[in-house]
Amino acid sequence: MKLNIATVLLLTLSAFVSTYSGFAQIAKNSKQDFLELTNQPSTQAEADDYYYLIGEWMPGRISMHGGMAMDVKKMRYDLDLQQVEIMRVEEEYGGIEVFNLWDIDSLVFKFDNNLSSVKYKRYVSGSTFRVEGIPLVGLFEIVSEGPYQLYAKAGIEFKNKPQKTIKKNKNKEEEVSIRHEIKKIFYYFGNGTRNLQPVDVDNKDMLSYFDKHEKRIATYIKKNRFSLNRRRDLIKIVDFANGLSK
Residues of the chain falling short of pLDDT 50: 1-2, 8-9, 11, 13, 15-45, 47-48, 178-179
Contact assessment for residue 118 and residue 129, using Cβ atoms and an 8 Å cutoff:
no
For residue 44, what pLDDT is reported? 45
- Number of domains comprising the chain: 1
For residue 91, what pLDDT is reported? 60
In a domain, 20, yes or no: yes
Tell how strand 149-160 and strand 179-190 pair up.
Answer: antiparallel
DSSP E strand boundaries for the chain: 58-64, 69-78, 83-87, 96-100, 104-110, 120-125, 130-131, 134-135, 139-144, 149-160, 164-169, 172-176, 179-190, 197-198
Contact assessment for residue 197 and residue 205, using Cβ atoms and an 8 Å cutoff:
no
Structural domain for 20, as ranges: 1-38
For residue 198, what pLDDT is reported? 95
In a domain, 33, yes or no: yes
Contact assessment for residue 179 and residue 160, using Cβ atoms and an 8 Å cutoff:
yes
In a domain, 182, yes or no: no
For residue 20, what pLDDT is reported? 38
Q: Is the pTM of this model over 0.75?
A: no
For residue 8, what pLDDT is reported? 44
In a domain, 144, yes or no: no
**What φ, ψ does residue 208 adopt, rounded to 5°?**
-65, -15
In a domain, 100, yes or no: no
For residue 40, what pLDDT is reported? 45
In a domain, 27, yes or no: yes
